[in-house]
Amino acid sequence: MKIPEIIRVRSAHRPGSLARVLDVIAAAGLVVEGLHAVTRDHLWTTWEITLETDESERVDRVLAQLAELPNAAVLGRSDRVFVEHRGGKIEIRSRQPIKTVERLRDVYTPGVARVCLAIQADPERARELTWISRAVAVVTNGTAILGLGHIGPLAGLPVMEGKAALMAELAGLSGVPILIDETDPQKVIDVVTAIAPSFGAIHLEDIRAPECFEIERALVERLPIPVMHDDQHGTAVVVLAALLGAAQRSGVDLQGSVVGQIGLGAAGLGICDLLVKYGVRRVLGADRNPSALERVEALGGEAADLARVMAECDVVVATTGVKGLIKPEMVREGQIILALSNPEPEIEPDVAIQAGARYATDGKVVNNLLGYPGIFRGALEAGATRITDAMLIAAAKAIHELATGDALVPSPLELVVHERVAAAVSAAAAQAP
């Protein structure tokens, strides 16, 4: 897995100096993800350079080579990422100042007793009188963190904090990380059920397949509040949005197409499920795991293998994590290919195009962040008890409609995206029987 390495280099403030530094980095086969001038005077500029790498030893070699340049000095690695995480990324604050005894008596004892009794008499008033209408539990057991795998719940906490921070920033929600140190699905289900009264919705995150399916299904059945496993449904929403854009751009009828999904983990099965619900004529799923093939058939898809998917499908989506899995000779003329594994796709988009694909892209455009903040906000605003397929499809259409220019989907940092998604989800919830 590629992660950012940040180095600090001081270069002479004259023409060509920075170029020589970047030439050394390029010669080492490293990609510059960011370049920022930290300080500058009439003699020197200090640069913070973000590199994408999966080999720290390669960065060591680059630093040694940079140190030999006459026009540069290596200041070392930056701990910018760690600085931004120090103390955590989220906090809870009072929504109103408590500066007087009168205010204290209102928000705490004895005044709060009146509110408690009002909720006891009418539990629905909790949505009005507490944070429940904005509160989302972000739950993991640490068994499938990012591309890192089973690293445990504590090591996954920075990801859950990140999800919560983005919910707050983009949708005005209060996300609360919940770590469950348990791999038994039934115990996870019981823990989440027990804490659910504190929240208005449950966001399941980074829980490995197939346990994630059992956990989500049971919680949806048990709890009277929205529950969503983002790895499945958040991914599926953004993939559907991207496919709507690719199909429109290519002049293809998505619902009338044959779509193949390669890789039937949590994301792959979520994608198949949503495409079937959207009305795609045929959905083929390929995976080496027989139980995964059984699952895709249970969803209304067809079990297949890699060769059959590439031979029969008009649209191909891949979420396998296997770099280079799709060979150029497998590409059929006119196919749409979304190779979504990060950091290395199953086939590079330019290679797929050269091999005959009508349209191709990779996982850099498909970001769950486009979906989940607005989905949860819309569900909470509507007072929905569950997140339906209609709500997910409405979210995908809203994302698709906001794409401009050559982009398949809009930037996840555009606030209007999350507002529109929330509105679309809320409207879909209101139309539910």
Q: How far apart are CA 166 and CA 75, in angstroms?
A: 32
Task: Give the Cα separation of 45 and 30 in Å (integer).
Answer: 22
Cβ atoms of 276 and 283 closer than 8 Å: yes
DSSP 337: E
Residue entry with tokens 């990801």: 159
Sign of CA dihedral 9, 2, 154, 151: negative
Report helix, strand and coil shares of the chain as percent, to nearest 5. Answer: 45, 20, 35
Task: Mark whether 108 is an active-site residue.
Answer: yes
Q: Give me the catalytic one of 2, 89, 99, 108.
A: 108
* Distance of alpha carbon 283 from alpha carbon 275, whole angstroms: 7
CA atoms within 13 A on the CB side of 336: 24
| Beta strands 282-286 and 31-40, pairing class | unpaired
Our answer to whether residue 163 is catalytic in this structure is yes
DSSP string, 249-303: HHT--STTSEEEEE--SHHHHHHHHHHHHHT-SEEEEE-S-HHHHHHHHHTT-EE
Q: How many CB atoms lie within 10 A of CB 238?
A: 27
Q: Which of 250, 184, 194 is nearest to 214 (CA)?
A: 184
Q: Say which of 89, 163, 359, 372 is annotated catalytic.
A: 163
Q: What angle do CA 26, 320, 164 make, to 5 degrees?
A: 80
Name the 3-class secondary structure at 54: coil
Residue 364 carries which DSSP code? T
Residues with catalytic function: 108, 163
